[in-house]
Structure 1
Amino acid sequence: MSDMLEKFKKAVPVLEKIEQAGFEAYFVGGSVRDALLHRSIEDVDIATSAFPEEIKQIFPKTIDVGIKHGTVVVIYNGENYEITTFRTDGEYTDYRRPDKVTFIRSLQEDLKRRDFTMNAIAMTKTGELIDPFSGQEDIKNKLIRTVGNAEKRFTEDALRIMRAIRFVSQLNFRIEQDTYKAIEKYGELLTNISVERIYAEFQKILVGKSRKQALRLLVEQNLHHYLPKLSGYGQELKQTADIIHLPIWKEAEIWAILLILIDKEPVDAFLRAWKTPLRIIKAVKKIYVAYQLRKEQSWTKEMVYYNGYDTCISSEKIYSVLHHLPVQQNVQTVKNIWADLPINSREQLAISGYDLMNWANQKSGPWIKETLEKIEKAIINKEIDNDKSKIKEWLFP
């Protein structure tokens, strides 16, 4: 690769320092794959023949993040670089992590332990590629293939099954035949993987450009039976896949669509079983509730005000798609109602509870909240203006 990308260029001095100390160092993994695919690169990973303690002697600023597995973070010129020693892995008795790792000096042996051929390509500081497992060919053919024996790869680390589906979603690749068969055979091993790790991969599947193909494949290979709360909901998952193929959907909206189609699972319990972040749970619940209201009636000023702009837009998108209605036109109706509201939140009220206490010469109590809500509704429905004197006159004629 003659034209070195900026992220790699910036990291070249790190490789040079390792080489000057008498060791080998290469760019590896996802950054090399993404460079070959002309995708944006977040971080570069570096693999080296230097052992962790040797890396710590070369660089003055390091952090032991995964030193047991050979990884040290090096801080160089204000940037953090994960540098991992070449290694071979021992037995995987938990189907996730090796019981022990052995540090080695051979790049070839290190690449041999990796998951897929496209992730087993190394690159030198000058851009020369080292590709012992024909990863470039598989990238060219848009193929997801394990390094070596597929069954061995998946029984070592069952999360690789979800990673394969994730790459279908992100890259629009297809899965090579032996790899496909091994995924189907060993899908149940996913029950050994922590929910947090499953969610991290599933979340990436949901937001990938080819998520429709990925989700349908997930059902086709019966993997949904081994995912939280999804056993028995293959049809609903396929329906969700067909709906969300367009790039208009956010993660919370996708979860809401799935739960609306399932229509048997409490939102909270379902998402907690997935260890979903609280912000996503809150957003999904709001969309789900607003959708149920929308099913009963058209949008009113109060519905839009109390449910909020983003929630109403999301639930209208879902409602319109599920009922084969014009999405843009109906979403615009919500936008128009929101734009026409005199206020968009209680904070914008021209008065406060202190004003009410002064005007009524009464102490604080539940009556304040009730009165503010009464005023709020009157303003929303344009019965009175959001003006201090007019509100006082309306309350105390």
Structure 2
Amino acid sequence: MKIEKLPQEFVQAQPILATLEQAGYEAYFVGGSVRDTLLGAPIHDVDIASSAFPEEVKALFNRTVDTGIQHGTVMVLDHGEGYEITTFRTESTYTDFRRPDSVTFVRSLSEDLKRRDFTINALAMRHDGEVVDLFDGLSDMTNGIIRAVGDAETRFTEDALRMMRALRFSAQLGFRIADDTRQALRDLAPNLTRIAVERIRVEFEKMLMGGNAAESLKLALDDGVINYLPGEPLKIWDNIIQHLATHQPADTFAVWSLVLAETDLTSSQINRFLRNWKLSRETITTVMTVVPLVRQIDKVSTFDLYQALPYQKTLFELLTLLDISNATIEQIRHIIDMLPITNSSELAIQGGDLIREGVMMPGPKLGQCLKKIEYAVVNGELENTRESLIQYAKEQVNDDN
């Protein structure tokens, strides 16, 4: 098969392949960029595999960076772009279920491709667009199948994360997982506990954001994969699957908000769950702000919504994911739209104004007074004008005295 019209990203990289080929080496485009081109999807990084060994690559190009030379990868800098060229290689055993204990550079494309995870990712492409398919990846792509290259148990034993990648690709592409590959996934799922949480998290998040997320999550649940993921066991995966059937999260904030919104976990348990997944402080803060609001959305106050303004994108997305009625969502949106201020800096006075006016001295009571002013303005109890706020502050001082 030949791709007649190559995306511009490949065209720009063709001189790299030409240089390698003119020096007598083989060179191919490989990996996700080839797969995505065949699927009609946007491509990102253009990766190149070659029979040239790292030192041979470096001898051919003026500007190179040793990005992973121990694994055979050298980055070539050309016209403002960086292209990673990786030497054909074979790999030894994987003691840690993640990295090969050693790699051996080879001159054979087939030896290199047969170590890759799935047939749809084991495609190579020549500079002219001719696709090299040694493992029926094109057929699997046409039939919508995620299939391990060679023996699935071997591939998953080499790197247990490949099981999560199978689920993720299934969710993103809407492909089914081949029977033998799925059986290996069932059998070897316990090995996921040996994989770094951060690596699992990335694949899990991508899976839940995929268009076929409901089916992939159901498969993970049915096959027991879910039991070997980080965090406390949850009882509401079936609910999440139902929500994912109609809507998918647009970002990771929404992913984790959806996962936890309908659990019975307390605030401290939610915090621990998110920390076990090694999520960022920003994600934890977002989820722990939005989830309590949604749990009591019928009773939420104006000031609660005001405090949640920095997280309103996630709030509205979660309401949609949970199939909250449009009437309720519009009511929440109306309350937010009608807020007189969006943060305390928009108050007509600040602490310095009260000090200069001689109303209050610096100290804790000043901060407490400003909080009361902010609360009253947000709730529509106080007009946000300088005169009104100073008068209110004076009344607070008199009340305290």
| Bucket of the pairwise TM-score, normalised by the shorter protein | over 0.9
Paired AA for residue 338 in structure 1: I
Query: Could you tell me which residue of structure 2 aligns to residue 277 of structure 1?
Result: 280
- Structure 2, unaligned stretches of length 5 or more? 396-401
Q: Provide the identity percentage.
A: 42
Query: Could you tell me which residue of structure 2 aligns to residue 383 of structure 1?
Result: 381
**Which has the larger displacement, 68-77 or 136-145?**
68-77
Find the partner of 2:160 among 150, 158, 161: 158
Alpha-carbon distance between aligned partners in 1 of 2:289 and 2:97, rounded to the nearest angstrom = 37
Paired AA for residue 105 in structure 1: R
Query: Could you tell me which residue of structure 2 aligns to residue 349 of structure 1?
Result: 347
Paired AA for residue 44 in structure 1: V
Count of aligned pairs: 390
Secondary structure, aligned partner of 1:383: coil
Secondary structure, aligned partner of 2:45: coil
Alpha-carbon distance between aligned partners in 1 of 2:124 and 2:42, rounded to the nearest angstrom = 18
Q: Do the aligned partners of residues 5 and 290 (structure 1) sit closer, same or farther apart at CA in structure 2, a change above 3 Å counting?
A: same
| Post-superposition offset of 1:21 | 1.9
Secondary structure, aligned partner of 2:93: coil
Mapping 1:365-380, distance limit 5 Å:
365-380=363-378
| Post-superposition offset of 1:82 | 1.2
Mapping 1:283-322, distance limit 5 Å:
283-294=286-297, 297=299, 299-308=300-309, 310-311=311-312, 314-315=314-315, 318=318
Query: Could you tell me which residue of structure 2 aligns to residue 112 of structure 1?
Result: 114
Secondary structure, aligned partner of 2:104: strand
Query: Does the CA contact (< 8 Å) of 2:171 and 2:213 recur in 1?
Result: yes
Mapping 1:79-118, distance limit 5 Å:
79-118=81-120
Alpha-carbon distance between aligned partners in 2 of 1:169 and 1:321, rounded to the nearest angstrom = 17
Question: C-alpha offsets along residues 26-71 of structure 1, whole Å, 9 cap, x if unaligned?
Answer: 0001111111100110111100001111111111211112111111
Query: Could you tell me which residue of structure 2 aligns to residue 78 of structure 1?
Result: 80
Paired AA for residue 238 in structure 1: D
- Structure 1, unaligned stretches of length 5 or more? none
**Which has the larger displacement, 351-360 or 45-54?**
351-360
Query: Does the CA contact (< 8 Å) of 2:373 and 2:392 recur in 1?
Result: no
Alpha-carbon distance between aligned partners in 1 of 2:382 and 2:316, rounded to the nearest angstrom = 29
Secondary structure, aligned partner of 1:88: strand
Query: Could you tell me which residue of structure 2 aligns to residue 241 of structure 1?
Result: 241
Question: C-alpha offsets along residues 87-107 of structure 1, whole Å, 9 cap, x if unaligned?
Answer: 000111111111000000011
| Post-superposition offset of 1:356 | 0.9
Secondary structure, aligned partner of 1:225: helix
Query: Does the CA contact (< 8 Å) of 1:244 and 1:254 recur in 2?
Result: no
Alpha-carbon distance between aligned partners in 1 of 2:249 and 2:115, rounded to the nearest angstrom = 37
Alpha-carbon distance between aligned partners in 2 of 1:319 and 1:31, rounded to the nearest angstrom = 35
Alpha-carbon distance between aligned partners in 1 of 2:160 and 2:96, rounded to the nearest angstrom = 9
Q: TM-score, normalised by structure 1?
A: 0.93
Query: Could you tell me which residue of structure 2 aligns to residue 167 of structure 1?
Result: 169
Alpha-carbon distance between aligned partners in 1 of 2:58 and 2:39, rounded to the nearest angstrom = 33
Alpha-carbon distance between aligned partners in 2 of 1:290 and 1:319, rounded to the nearest angstrom = 10
Paired AA for residue 35 in structure 1: T
Mapping 1:48-63, distance limit 5 Å:
48-63=50-65
Paired AA for residue 243 in structure 2: I
Alpha-carbon distance between aligned partners in 2 of 1:33 and 1:202, rounded to the nearest angstrom = 21
Secondary structure, aligned partner of 1:18: helix
Alpha-carbon distance between aligned partners in 1 of 2:360 and 2:285, rounded to the nearest angstrom = 37
Alpha-carbon distance between aligned partners in 1 of 2:288 and 2:384, rounded to the nearest angstrom = 31
| Post-superposition offset of 1:269 | 0.9
Q: Do the aligned partners of residues 219 and 171 (structure 1) sit closer, same or farther apart at CA in structure 2, a change above 3 Å counting?
A: same
Alpha-carbon distance between aligned partners in 2 of 1:160 and 1:100, rounded to the nearest angstrom = 19
> What do you get for the CA RMSD once the two structures are aligned?
1.9
Alpha-carbon distance between aligned partners in 2 of 1:225 and 1:193, rounded to the nearest angstrom = 14
| Post-superposition offset of 1:321 | 6.4
Query: Does the CA contact (< 8 Å) of 2:125 and 2:132 recur in 1?
Result: yes
